[in-house]
């Protein structure tokens, strides 16, 4: 039971680090973005009239990802404990 709890905690940590790094990289790219206004006028016919700010995934995908990472971590911990003795 201890291995399962540790595996779920490590899975939470992995998902939080992934989410934080994704948000951090997006923030950094946004801060460093410098639009080229002069050349944008040449492509004015191709500009979109709607803006999409992002997309969301299915909650089931996140659940499967969480359980999958926890399963892999538990398996690695179990094999490590068997090898260690």
Alpha helices in 1-85 (DSSP H): 2-32, 37-40, 59-84
Contact (Cβ atoms closer than 8 angstroms) between residue 15 and residue 69: yes
What pLDDT is attached to residue 43?
A: 64
How many structural domains comprise the chain?
1
Tens of pLDDT along the chain (85 residues) come to 888 999 999 999 999 999 999 999 999 999 999 888 777 777 666 666 777 777 777 889 889 999 999 999 999 999 999 999 8
What pLDDT is attached to residue 47?
A: 61
Residue 14: give the domain boundaries: 1-84
| Residue indicated by tokens 């790094």 | 21
Q: What is the pTM of this model?
A: 0.69
What pLDDT is attached to residue 67?
A: 95
């Amino acid at each position: 039971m201890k291995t399962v709890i540790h595996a779920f905690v490590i899975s939470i940590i992995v998902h939080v680090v992934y989410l934080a790094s994704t948000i951090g990289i997006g923030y950094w790219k946004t801060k460093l973005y410098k639009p080229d206004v002069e050349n944008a006028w040449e492509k004015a016919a191709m500009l979109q009239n709607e803006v999409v700010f992002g997309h969301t995934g299915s909650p089931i995908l996140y659940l499967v990802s969480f359980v999958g990472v926890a399963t892999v971590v538990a398996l690695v911990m179990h094999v490590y404990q068997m090898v260690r003795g």
